[in-house]
């Protein structure tokens, strides 16, 4: 009798374990169930899209519009031009690329700390240094305008980088925008991207197809970087929550980055500005 009771207890236990496995197995789900992606796994670009898509208009700064979701373009000035090395920040004789900045007084202490952490993130292992503006002619004016966006490369004179409070004042987003300021477009805009990712055109919102254009950019001899802070996430501009970009061959590769530059992002900066690679 005791043996039978024991056997029953074991079998109840086992079925409970099975039920638990079934309930908590992430692979299981109703039709239309999408891969779970926690807030911490959101890429910098996912956060930018959320913020910028809230705006009804794409007119952001006088005559400028946004390309690829967060790159400001003045009318008549195509972002491609910047890759002909004509929009680089100038390099100092000491080997550093100093970017002078002005920070809006609207940012509080915490905002300022987060923006400076974003700057430090770019500086780490690269020759770029952000310095508060004193007299420099060319500089970035960081302002909490509507949305997260930056112009591409150095335009000459004052240029706005918009970091809306609070949505854009996050280290990953700040770092992503500064990469545009340095002259980089999104990683999946590389001309050779179709060798590495599949763009799922039918899943992209009709009016956002242009954000997936390719550009004749200089890859600087660096490999395609799935984990670049400049890479769109898998669900960027999705129409119905389905993936819009899938890595070729291996679906488990993560696209994009939440908080920090990738190693290749740092190499990219050093190559574009002809700096020695620095170990961080
Ligand atoms: Zn961007």
116 belongs to a structural domain: yes
Tell me, what's the pLDDT at 86?
65
Distance 221 CA to ligand 1 centre (A): 21
23 belongs to a structural domain: no
Q: What percent of the chain has pLDDT over 90?
A: 69
208-251 pLDDT, tens digit each: 999 999 988 889 999 999 999 999 999 999 999 999 999 998 88
60 belongs to a structural domain: yes
Q: Which residues are catalytic?
A: 177
119-140 pLDDT, tens digit each: 999 999 999 999 999 999 999 9
Annotated binding site for Zn(2+): 176, 180, 186
176 belongs to a structural domain: yes
263 belongs to a structural domain: no
Distance 51 CA to ligand 1 centre (A): 12
Distance 277 CA to ligand 1 centre (A): 24
Tell me, what's the pLDDT at 14?
43
CA-to-CA distance for 153 and 81, rounded, in angstroms?
10
Beta-carbon contacts of residue 191 (< 8 Å; ≥ 6 apart): 214, 215, 216, 217, 219
Indicate whether 57 pLDDT > 80. no
CA-to-CA distance for 184 and 180, rounded, in angstroms?
5
CATH number at residue 61: 3.40.390.10
Domain assignment of residue 86, given as a range: 41-185
CB 227 within 8 A of CB 187: no
Distance 21 CA to ligand 1 centre (A): 39
Annotated binding site: 176, 180, 186
DSSP 153: S
- Domain total in the chain: 1
pLDDT category of residue 18 using cuts at 50, 70 and 90: very low
CA-to-CA distance for 148 and 163, rounded, in angstroms?
5
Q: pTM of the entire structure? A: 0.82
**Strand 71-74's sheet: what is its strand order?**
59-61, 64-67, 71-74, 148-151, 158-163, 139-143, 97-103, 128-132
């Amino acid at each position: 009798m005791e043996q039978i009771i024991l056997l029953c207890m074991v079998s109840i236990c086992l079925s409970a374990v099975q039920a638990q496995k079934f309930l908590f197995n992430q692979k299981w789900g109703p039709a239309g169930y999408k891969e779970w992606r926690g807030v911490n796994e959101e890429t910098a670009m996912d956060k930018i899209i959320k913020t910028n898509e809230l705006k009804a208009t794409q007119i952001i700064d006088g005559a400028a519009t946004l390309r690829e979701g967060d790159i400001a373009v003045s009318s008549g000035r195509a972002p491609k031009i910047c890759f002909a090395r004509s929009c680089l920040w100038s390099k100092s004789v000491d080997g550093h690329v100093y970017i002078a900045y002005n920070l809006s007084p609207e940012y509080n202490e915490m905002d300022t700390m987060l923006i400076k952490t974003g700057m430090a993130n770019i500086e780490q292992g690269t020759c770029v240094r952000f310095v508060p503006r004193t007299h420099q002619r060319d500089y970035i004016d960081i302002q909490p305008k509507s949305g997260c966006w930056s112009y591409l490369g150095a335009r000459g004179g004052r240029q706005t980088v918009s970091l809306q409070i609070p949505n854009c004042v996050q280290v990953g987003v700040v770092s992503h925008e500064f990469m545009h300021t340095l002259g980089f477009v999104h990683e999946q805009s590389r001309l050779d991207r179709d060798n590495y990712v599949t763009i799922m055109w039918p899943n992209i919102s009709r009016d956002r197809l242009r954000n997936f254009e390719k550009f004749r950019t200089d890859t600087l001899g660096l490999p395609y970087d799935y984990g670049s802070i400049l890479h769109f996430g898998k669900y960027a501009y999705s129409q119905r929550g389905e993936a819009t970009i899938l890595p070729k061959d291996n679906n488990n590769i993560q696209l994009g980055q939440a908080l920090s530059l990738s190693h290749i992002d740092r190499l990219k900066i050093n190559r574009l500005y002809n700096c020695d690679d620095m170990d961080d």
